[in-house]
Amino acid sequence: MTLGELLSLRGLGWADVLALWGHFTLLSLLAVGGAITTAPDMQRWLVGQQGWMTDAQFTTGVAIAQAAPGPNILFVAVMGWQVAGVAGVVATMLGIMGPSSLLALAVGRFGQRRAESIPMRAFTAGLTPLTLGLLLSTGWVLTAPTRAEWAAWALVLGTVMVSVRSRLSPMWMIAAGALAGALWLR
Amino acid sequence: MPDTGGTPDEPPLRRPASCGDVFRVFNRLALQGFGGVLPVAHRELVERERWLSPEQFVELLTLGQVLPGPNIVNIALIIGDRHFGWRGAAAACGGLLVVPMFIVLALATVYQQFAGNALVVGALRGMGAVAAGLVVATAVKLARTLRSNPLGQPASLMLAAATALMVGALRWPMAGVVLGLGGLGMALAWHRIRQQETAR
C-alpha cells in the first residue's frame, strides 16, 4: 500500500470528512454504556443515510475489532478507515473520543465525590434500561448480513448461552465463530 | 489520593514512575485484552502494579460506567490525569489505543486483500455472528441488574423495549431517543429515589 493510497479519501470530499467527525462527536456524548451502544446509529447513518458502506462491511469491521486485542472502541477506527482512509480514522476517533474524554477528565477532577448523590444515581438508574435496549439493537444490526442463515442464528444463540453461563474468554468464541463460518457460512 | 488505600495487611500502593511508565502499563494491558480489556485491567492495575486498591478500582469503574464513552478509556484518562495531569491522561489513553489501533487497521487492510476468498468471507461472517451474540449476552447480564434498579423491573423493561424498538427496529436517530426516553427514565428514577430516601 502506497502513501497516496493511505492518505486518499476514497472518493469522499473534505466536507464529508467533517460531517463524519460531526456525527461521531454527537454520538460521543450519547455513548452511555460504551461506544458499542451507538453502533445502531452509526449503521443507520453510514449504511442507510450516506451509503458509504454496506451492512457486510459494517459487521465485518466490528468483528475484526473484536477479534483483535485492545479496547472494543477501535471498531470506530475501522469504520473511519473503510470510509475515508487515514482522514476517516482521525475524524471518527477524535469525534467519538473527544467530548466523552473531556467530560471524564472534568468529572475525574471535580465531581468524583458526587457519584453517590441523588442526581448521579438517578442519571445511572434512568439510563441503564436504555443501555440494555441499545445493546439489543446493536446485536440486531450486527446480524443484518447473515439473518437468512440458520447457522448464523445458531452461532448467535450459542454465543449468548456460553458467555452468560461461563467465563470463557471471548477470544475463543470468536475463533470458534471463524471456524464455523468458514465451514457453513460461505 | 492513590496512596491512601489498602489495609495494614496488604502491601502499600505504588505510583507510576513517569508518563512512559503509564503508557507502558496501559499498552501492555490493552494488548492482552481480546474481546474486552476490563478483566485484564483489574489484574494489571490492582494485582500486578498496585496503582489502585480493589475499592478504588470499583469506584473508578462505577464512575467510568456513569460517564458516556468507553469505560476503560475513561478510567485510563482519570488515572493518568491524577498522577501526571493532562500529559499522564494522554499517555494512558495513547498506551491503550495506539498500538492496538495499528493492529486492527492492519487486519482490516489484510482482510480487504482476501475479500474475494470464500473461506475468509465465511470466517468473517461467523465472527460477525459471534460479535452479535457477545453484545446480546452483555444485555442479558445487564438485565439481571435491573432487579435492584430504583425504577423497578416493569418500568425498566418497558424503557429497554421501547429503546430497542425505536433505535433497532424503527431506526430512529439515537439522539432524540436517548434525550426523550433517557430524560423520562432519569426523571422517574429521581422521583423513586427521593421516595425511597424519605420513606427510610
Condensed to tens digits (0 to 9), the pLDDT of residues B65-117 reads 778 888 889 999 999 999 999 999 999 999 999 999 999 999 999 888 888 89
- A70-128 pLDDT, tens digit per residue, is 888 999 999 999 999 999 999 999 999 999 999 999 888 876 666 678 887 888 888 88
Domain locations in chain B as residue ranges: 19-113, 118-147, 149-200
Which region, left, alpha or beta, applies to residue B5 given φ > 0 means left and ψ of -120 to 50 means alpha?
Answer: beta
Residues pairing with A69 in the sheet: B34
Is 50 exceeded by the pLDDT of residue B3?
A: no
Cell numbers that stand for B32 in this block: 492482552
Task: Look over chain B and give the mean of its residue pLDDT values, rounded to a whole number.
Answer: 87
Closest CA to A97 of B82, B94, B99, B27: B94
Angle at B47 between CA B44 and CA B50, to 5 degrees: 85
Which residues of chain A have a CB within 8 Å of the CB of B72? 71
**Start-to-end C-alpha separation, chain A:** 28
Which range has the top average pLDDT, A12-16, B10-14, B91-95, B145-149? B91-95
Closest CA to A143 of A27, A51, A29, A63: A63
Sign of dihedral through CA atoms B166, B167, B173, B174? positive
Q: What is the pLDDT of residue B1?
A: 42
- Which A residues in the span 72-101 are in contact with B, Cβ-Cβ below 8 Å? 72-74, 77-78, 81-82, 89, 93, 96-97, 99-101
A150 contacts: CB under 8 Å, gap ≥ 6:
none
B49 contacts: CB under 8 Å, gap ≥ 6:
B14, B16, B25
- Which A residues in the span 94-153 are in contact with B, Cβ-Cβ below 8 Å? 96-97, 99-101, 103-105, 107-109, 112, 115, 118-143, 145-146, 149, 151-153
Task: Look over chain A and give the mean of its residue pLDDT values, rounded to a whole number.
Answer: 89
Instruction: Give the SS3 label for residue A162.
Output: helix
Q: What is the pLDDT of residue A114?
A: 66
| CA distance linking residue A79 with residue A45, whole number of Å | 12
Domain locations in chain A as residue ranges: 3-129
| CA distance linking residue A77 with residue A94, whole number of Å | 10
- HSE, CB side, 13 Å, CA atoms: give it for residue A104: 37
Shortest CA gap B153–chain A (Å): 10
Which of A96, A135, A145 lies closest to B142 in CB terms?
A: A135
Cell numbers that stand for A119 in this block: 442526581
Contact with chain A for residue B147, Cβ under 8 A: no
Q: What is the pLDDT of residue B2?
A: 45
- φ/ψ of B33, rounded to 5, equals -90, 100
**Mean pLDDT for the stretch of residues A130-153:** 91
Cell numbers that stand for A94 in this block: 477524535
Instruction: Give the SS3 label for residue B18.
Output: coil
Instruction: Give the SS3 label for residue B34.
Output: strand
- B127-161 pLDDT, tens digit per residue, is 999 989 988 998 888 888 888 889 999 999 999 99
Q: What is the pLDDT of residue B5?
A: 45
**Mean pLDDT for the stretch of residues A54-72:** 89
Q: What is the pLDDT of residue B66?
A: 75
